[in-house]
Amino acid sequence: MKEILLLLHPTFGVLGIIAAVWVIVEVINSSQSNQSRIRIASVMIFILMVLTWITGGYFYVFYYAADKAIILNGPWPFAHSLLMESKEHIFFMTLVLSAFLPIVSRMKNIITSRQTRILIISTATLIVISGLALEGAGAIIAAGAKLGLLQTVVQ
Amino acid sequence: MEKDINQNADNLTTAFGISASVAIVFNTLLMVAKESNPAILAWMKMVTIHHWITHGLLVTGVFIILGLVLYKTKIQIQIMSLTWMVTLSSILSGLGIVIFFLLD
């Protein structure tokens, strides 16, 4: 269960980031033919980020305490004290932006209004940047746990 | 034909754009409050099984409830103002979280 959650959490997150890039590309090339794709991709981002929240949250609440102890006693304690602490809070920002994006994307003037396109692209870009930062932080946290375990084995 | 001058966002986008900005800032302020005040952290742990669950519920609650309240008020705001509001609140709040834990 724990390992499956650890695989699903970043997978949903990456798929959400890819969907946000998809939205940016569709909006840059906005036309009558791709309006429904913009809306579908925006809703997909929200669904994927909720799934990221549920899988990551379940792991964090029920399993992370052991990893936290290993990380804090290992050579990279900052993986928890800085990165995990930041990650668990910045994620809510990404989640809120993901919930806001489908609301903007349902606006009817995407083709005619440059300002609407900028709003959608800005929101999607913030999702991409924060999402990539969270994925990177997750990788370093995993490395922190590995190094902590290695240190325990060596000792 | 591009229409670029001082466009207002529609009512729903305005309401939830403002509520998104407020929820994002609230997220950072709540994080600072609970990390700085053990009583708040204890209360958040008591409400649900974990402070992080309470934190998430409060942030999403602010986003949804404030959005619905603002939607009823039919507030008007220009699209570019909304864009700046969402972008700046996200960047500053995100940096605020990282800086807090860097200094902690």
| pTM metric for this prediction | 0.95
Per-residue confidence (pLDDT) for residue A95, from 0 to 100? 98
- Record the tokens describing residue A128, joined without a space: 């991409």
**Calpha distance A4→B57 (Å, rounded):** 25
Residue A82 lies in a domain: yes
pLDDT (average), residues A32-39? 95
Per-residue confidence (pLDDT) for residue B2, from 0 to 100? 56
**ipTM of this complex > 0.90?**
yes
Residue A155 lies in a domain: no
Per-residue confidence (pLDDT) for residue A76, from 0 to 100? 96
B70 touches chain A (CB under 8 A): no
- Contacting residues of B for A57, CB less than 8 Å apart: 52-53, 56
pLDDT (average), residues B11-36? 97
Do B60 and A95 count as a contact with CB atoms less than 8 A apart? yes
Do B53 and A123 count as a contact with CB atoms less than 8 A apart? no
The band of A1, judged by pLDDT with boundaries at 50, 70 and 90, is confident
**Calpha distance A126→A118 (Å, rounded):** 12
- The chain A residues in contact with chain B (CB within 8 A) are 53, 57, 60-61, 81-82, 85-86, 88-90, 92-93, 95-97, 99-100, 103-104, 106-107, 109, 112-116, 118-119, 122-123, 126, 130
Average pLDDT, rounded, for chain B:
94
Do B79 and A60 count as a contact with CB atoms less than 8 A apart? no
User: What's A39's domain CATH number?
Assistant: 1.20.120
* pLDDT tens column, B55-80: 999 999 999 999 999 999 989 999 99
Residue A36 lies in a domain: yes
Residue A109 lies in a domain: yes
**Total domain count for chain A?**
1
- List helix spans (H) across chain B: 11-36, 38-47, 51-73, 79-103
- List helix spans (H) across chain A: 2-28, 35-62, 64-73, 78, 85-105, 114-154
**Calpha distance B30→B54 (Å, rounded):** 11
- For chain B, the first-to-last Cα distance in angstroms comes to 52
Q: Is B27 within 8 Å of A89 (Cβ atoms)? A: yes
Residue A49 lies in a domain: yes
* pLDDT tens column, A58-87: 999 999 999 999 999 999 999 999 999 999
- Contacting residues of B for A82, CB less than 8 Å apart: 98, 101-102
Per-residue confidence (pLDDT) for residue B84, from 0 to 100? 97
